[in-house]
Chain A
Amino acid sequence: MEVVEQEKIVGVINEKFDGEILQTEMLYDFLTITLKKDKIIEVIRHLYQHPSTQFQYLTTLCGVHYPELKQIAMMYQLHNLVSNVQVRLKIYLPEENPTVPTLTPVFAAANWLERETYDFFGVIFQGHPNLKRILNVEEMTIFPMRKEYPLEDQTREDKNDTMFGR
Chain B
Amino acid sequence: METATRTYSMSEKPEGYEGTGFFATSLEKVVGLARKNSIWPLPFATSCCGIEFMATMGAHYDLARFGSERLSFSPRQADLLMVMGTIAKKMGPVLRQVYEQMAEPRWVISVGACASSGGIFDTYSVLQGIDRIIPVDVYVPGCPPRPEQIIDGVMKIQQLVESESLRRRDSAEYKAMLNKYGIE
Find residues 143-163 in chain A having any chain B CB closer than 8 Å to their own CB. 144, 149, 151-156, 159
Determine how close the nearest CB of chain A comes to the CB of B124; give it in whole angstroms. 5
Determine how close the nearest CB of chain A comes to the CB of B127; give it in whole angstroms. 9
Find residues 79-135 in chain B having any chain A CB closer than 8 Å to their own CB. 89-90, 92, 118, 122-126, 128
Tell yes or no: A26 within 8 A of B by CB: no
Contact (Cβ within 8 A) A142 B124: yes
**Which interface class (under 10, 10 to 19, 20 to 34, 35 or more) fits B?**
10 to 19
Determine how close the nearest CB of chain A comes to the CB of B115; give it in whole angstroms. 15
**A interface, over-half SS:** loop
Contact (Cβ within 8 A) B90 A152: no
Nearest first, the 3 A-B pairs at minimum CB distance are A137-B89, A144-B124, A152-B122
**Which interface class (under 10, 10 to 19, 20 to 34, 35 or more) fits A?**
10 to 19
In the bound assembly, the distance between CA atoms of A159 and B121 in angstroms comes to 13
Question: Beyond the given A153-B118, A153-B123, could you list 11 further A-B residue pairs with CB under 8 A, ordered by the A residue number?
Answer: A136-B89, A136-B90, A136-B125, A137-B90, A140-B124, A149-B124, A151-B123, A153-B126, A154-B124, A156-B122, A156-B128
Which residues of A are found within 8 Å of B124, using beta-carbon distances? Answer: 136, 140, 142, 144, 149, 151-154
Determine how close the nearest CB of chain A comes to the CB of B153; give it in whole angstroms. 22
Determine how close the nearest CB of chain A comes to the CB of B114; give it in whole angstroms. 13
Which residues of A are found within 8 Å of B126, using beta-carbon distances? Answer: 153
In the bound assembly, the distance between CA atoms of A140 and B128 in angstroms comes to 15
Which residues of A are found within 8 Å of B89, using beta-carbon distances? Answer: 136-137
Q: Which residue of A lies closest to B89 (CB)?
A: A137
Determine how close the nearest CB of chain A comes to the CB of B136; give it in whole angstroms. 16
In the bound assembly, the distance between CA atoms of A43 and B150 in angstroms comes to 59
Q: Which residue of A lies closest to B91 (CB)?
A: A137
